[in-house]
Copies of this chain bind each other. A is one copy, B any other.
Amino acid sequence: MAVTGAAGMIGRKLVARLVADGGLSDGVRELAIERLSLYDVVEPAPIEGWFGPVDRVATDLGPTGAAEAVVAGRPDVIFHLAAVVSGEAEADFDKGYRVNLDGTRDLLEAIRRAHLTEGYTPRLVFTSSIAVYGAPLPDRIPDAYPATPRTSYGTQKAIDELLLADYTRRGFVDGVGIRLPTICIRPGRPNLAASGFFSSILREPLAGQEAVLPVPEDVRHWFASPRSAVGFLLRAATIDSALIGPDPTLAMPGVSATVGEQIGALRRIAGDAAVALIRREPDPAIARIVAEWAPGLEARRARELGFTADASMEEIIRAHIDDELGGTLR
């Protein structure tokens, strides 16, 4: 198995889960890990609990030959998570296209070359994003809805989905794409992403810290916990492609919540004192960006295919407390 973007937040959790589970299994298909090949722009850290063959490689998929290296060991499953994030892809046009478009296309081409010479056809799990949707959007976006991205990042992800579908249709690769919701609660320090506050207004108060809320409480968005995101990836790795049909990218389920509902869930779990740590500092620029984001998805196909999301914002918060805070609040 190979993972690009293995040093990222989701990548690390995915690898830890794969190792803890001893491989992939969905009750029907079982796949042991023979070798773990991890790629990221920084060298992925050693993996706790894994004593088998491993590659930990620092590469950004940009230069020629990087994709060849990922494919060289003929991994049976490739999780392709590596990407330049939304804000950076908007700020650095060339880098965004080089990594998010060319990097993915290079990987598909490297797979295709190995397919044409030796019939290699790995399962490729590709992480797309709800950034492929652009305003105007209904409250519940149906599965069959146009991808009209309003960012370069969303454009690159939408293009990758089209490539994945064509390479899969032609039989060069066994691709499955998943459109991830906004991940909440992202662990770690606050970052500068426009979406950062959706996590920090929960994460910081849970840790007794102040957080800034830049948008009104009626802003609605679509969320999944890191734990759910890893579950989506595992399901995507094992699902029978015959069940998926000609469009290999699935919109993932999640929790639709307003900021007010996020705060309500925080109050029920951590009390008024936690909520009092949220400082309102309206930022019209962020409010304008976020207003165009997906408020919610139907995700009917994915639910029917066994992709399972968190049940509620409370469950999302409890997953964070379990996975990041040792199971209890201080």
Contact = CB atoms under 8 A, between A and B. Distances in A.
Interface of A: 93, 134, 144-150, 152, 155, 158-159, 162-163, 165-166, 169-170, 246-247
A152 B170 contact: yes
Given A148-B246, A150-B246, A155-B162, 18 more contacts: A93-B170, A134-B246, A144-B146, A145-B146, A146-B146, A147-B147, A147-B162, A148-B165, A148-B247, A149-B162, A149-B166, A152-B170, A155-B163, A155-B166, A158-B162, A159-B159, A159-B163, A162-B162
Given A134-B246, A159-B159, A166 B152 contact: yes
Contacts of A146: 144-147
Contacts of A144: 145-146
Nearest to A249: B148
A100 to B, nearest CB: 12
A235 B169 CA distance: 36
A169 B150 contact: yes
Nearest to A160: B159
Contacts of A149: 162, 165-166
Nearest to A132: B162
A240 to B, nearest CB: 20
Nearest to A90: B170
A166 B151 CA distance: 7
Contacts of A162: 147, 149, 155, 158-159, 162
A164 B109 CA distance: 23
Contacts of A166: 149, 152, 155
A170 B166 CA distance: 27
Contacts of A152: 166, 170
15 contacts: A134-B246, A145-B146, A146-B147, A147-B147, A148-B246, A149-B162, A150-B246, A152-B166, A152-B170, A155-B162, A155-B165, A158-B162, A159-B159, A159-B163, A162-B162
A144 B135 CA distance: 12
A302 to B, nearest CB: 16
A250 to B, nearest CB: 13
Contacts of A147: 146-147, 162
A34 B140 CA distance: 51
Nearest to A292: B246
A74 to B, nearest CB: 21
- The winner among A144, A166, A170, A246 for most chain B CB atoms within 10 A is A166
Nearest to A134: B246
Contacts of A246: 134, 148, 150
A211 to B, nearest CB: 32
A152 B162 CA distance: 9
Contacts of A134: 246
A288 to B, nearest CB: 14
A147 B144 CA distance: 9
A149 B144 CA distance: 13
A144 B166 CA distance: 22
Nearest to A112: B93
A149 B246 CA distance: 9
